[in-house]
Amino acid sequence: MRKDGRTTNELRPIKITTDYIMHPEGSVLIEVGNTKVICNASIEDRVPPFMRGQGKGWITAEYSMLPRATEQRNIRESSKGKVSGRTMEIQRLIGRALRSVVDLESFGERTVWVDCDVIQADGGTRTASITGAFVAVALAFGVLLKNKKINQLPVKDYLAAISVGVMSTEHEVIDLNYEEDAEARVDMNIVMTGNGEFVEIQGTGEEATFSKEQLFSMLDLADRGIQQLFDIQKEALGELGELIGSERQSKGAYE
C-alpha cells in the first residue's frame, strides 16, 4: 500500500479534456492525479530549414512549467535567458516519441508544434505530456483532414507514456507522484505504442543501481498501465480515434 492509498500497480485518476484552448488546432488538458498539463498542437505550413525541399513534415515539442507549478517557485526560463538541461531533455523526448507514430511523409511540408505547459506539477509531468500531446496531435491532424488538406490521418498507432520506479523499500511502483519520485532509488519512463512495442525506455538510478529482475518488473508494470492510458485516449478522441492506424493499413500493401 502506498502513502496515497494506491496499490503498486495502480494509476492515479486520469482525465483528458479536449478543445481546452480555443486557438490551437489541437488542444488538450490532461490531468494525472494533481499533475495538470495543457498540450497544444499547432500546425505551421512550413518546415524548419534542415527539412526543406524533402516533401516531408516535422513534429517538434516544447515543454515548460509555470513558475509556481511546483511546491517551490522556480525562476522562469525566459528570465534566466536559457532553457535548462532538464527542459531540453524532456522536449527532445516528447518530439521523438510523437514522431515514432506519425508518418512524416504524408502531411506535406508542415510542422506540428507541440507545446506542453505544466500548470500544476505532482510528478510524471513528462509522461503526462506525451500522453496528452498524442491526443492534441491527433486532433490537429483531424482539423487538417476535415479541411481536406490531407487525405488520411497520418497517425500510425496510439502512443502513451508512464513512469515506473523502485522505491527505497525495493518495491516497484507505477505512476509515481512527486513525493514518491523524490524517494525512489530508480526512476524509469517508458513510452509504448498501441501494438505493444517500445518507443523509448529511460531508466536511471540516481546514486543507485538496479538489477535485471527489477528492470523486468518495471517493464511489466508499465506495459499494463499504458493499456489503460490507451483506453482513455480512445475515449477522448471518439470517432477520430478510429482512424488511427488506417493510414498504415492502406499503405501496407505497397510498403
Q: Which residues bind a copy of itself (CB under 8 A)?
A: 21-24, 27, 34, 38, 40, 42, 44, 62, 64, 66-71, 73, 76-89, 91-92, 96, 99-100, 104, 113, 115, 117, 119-120, 188, 193, 195-212, 215, 219
- State in angstroms the smallest separation of the CB of 169 from a copy of itself: 16
The three grid cell numbers given for residue 114, joined into one nine-digit string: 507541440
Tell me: is residue 57 an annotated ligand-binding position: no
- State in angstroms the smallest separation of the CB of 190 from a copy of itself: 10
Q: DSSP code of 66?
A: -
Distance in angstroms (rounded) separating the CA atoms of residues 181 and 187: 7
Tell me: is residue 33 an annotated ligand-binding position: no
Tell me: is residue 209 an annotated ligand-binding position: no
- State in angstroms the smallest separation of the CB of 228 from a copy of itself: 19
Smaller CB distance to a copy of itself: residue 1 or 13?
13
Tell me: is residue 125 an annotated ligand-binding position: yes
Smaller CB distance to a copy of itself: residue 84 or 235?
84
Name the nearest CA neighbour of 167 among 183, 156, 153, 155.
Answer: 183
Residue 113: how many other CB atoms lie within 10 Å: 18
Sign of the alpha-carbon dihedral angle for 133, 139, 144, 150: positive
Distance in angstroms (rounded) separating the CA atoms of residues 152 and 141: 9
- State in angstroms the smallest separation of the CB of 246 from a copy of itself: 18
Q: DSSP code of 104?
A: G
Q: Write out the H or E segment, with its range, that includes residue 250.
A: helix 246-252
Smaller CB distance to a copy of itself: residue 128 or 219?
219
Residue numbering of the annotated binding site for phosphate: 86, 124-126
